[in-house]
Amino acid sequence: MGKTILVTGASSGFGRIIARDLALAGHVAYASMRSTRDRNAPAVAEAAAWAGEYGADLRTAELDVQDEASIASAVDAIIADQGRLDVVVHNAGHMTWGPSEAFTPAQLAEVYDINVLGAQRVNRAVLPHMRAAADGLQIWIGSSSVAGGVPPLLGPYFAAKAAMDALAICYAKELAPLGIETSIVVPGAFTTGTNHFAHAGSPADAQTAGQYAAAWPAAFADRIKDALAATVPESADPAAVGRAVVNIVAAPRGERPLRVHVDPASDGAEVSFAVIDRVRAEFLHRIGHADLLHPRAGG
């Protein structure tokens, strides 16, 4: 039976791919985004046209992860329409590019607010329904930067992604006794097929950014970006992230993986996380709570 699924940050990039793939797989997929009546109105129209063309149940929802009222309204509407919300995909995020010092504290707070607090706001709206059902699935779209290669110039974004991963891991343990599952999809760098770099935030402190540019070797930032792109094979396909999410949703309850890596650049995160997650699992055994590694049966 198809599930009712909410995908955040689905106007473009991974979010749009994920929502469409879930709809094609037979689920009711809500592609949520902000500014559906103005800036993202074209994305709403495209989604409706695509749904009609493919006969898929793809819907759009106004949802701003920085606005609790917006989130509550979207979730309430989904529950009113469907009677349930089975899966939430935490995808909304914002990327930055530039020397870390040149980003103001307010800018770092903004990135954290979108990437981390945004997921927390959404959870506070959706989890009461999942807890009442004693069932549900949370899928977090993370980043290989948390445990793999870390190039410069992405500091605020990487810091927020690391915080998001830590939050997801804690949620996994707290929700397992309630019958709610957690999976983290770990994409590597994709330099084509998404708008990450095109929409990346830049430092507000232009003077400091200029001082870095003057002190660095010639074309340092461009060379870093080119070097990063060179690690990604031409065959890299962002659609693999959508397929990974579809496969997680389709997996039997209790057998869904904690992590799925989609990293064509192979930056080492898969190796590092294998060790990190095993250490964490062993610690749960040590304190007598290995039961938290899997969701409670039933639901």
C-alpha 78/C-alpha 211 separation (Å) is 49
Cβ neighbors of 219 (< 8 A, separation 6 or more) are none
Identify the active-site residue in 30, 54, 112, 157: 157
Closest by CA to 78, choosing from 55, 54, 56, 62, is 62
Residues 71 and 113 sit within 8 Å (Cβ to Cβ): no
C-alpha 81/C-alpha 77 separation (Å) is 6
C-alpha 245/C-alpha 139 separation (Å) is 8
Q: Where are the alpha helices (DSSP H) in 87-234?
A: 105-112, 118-133, 155-175, 206-215, 220-230
C-alpha 296/C-alpha 29 separation (Å) is 26
The H or E element spanning position 229 is helix 220-230
The H or E element spanning position 180 is strand 180-187
- Our answer to whether residue 112 is catalytic in this structure is no
Closest by CA to 234, choosing from 262, 192, 270, is 192
CB atoms within 10 A of CB 4: 20
Say which amino acid occupies 84.
R
- 16 three-class SS: helix
- Residue 59 buriedness (CB in 10 A; 0-12 / 13-18 / 19+): buried
Query: Which tokens belong to 38?
Result: 């103005």
The H or E element spanning position 90 is strand 87-90
Q: Provide the annotated active-site residues.
A: 157
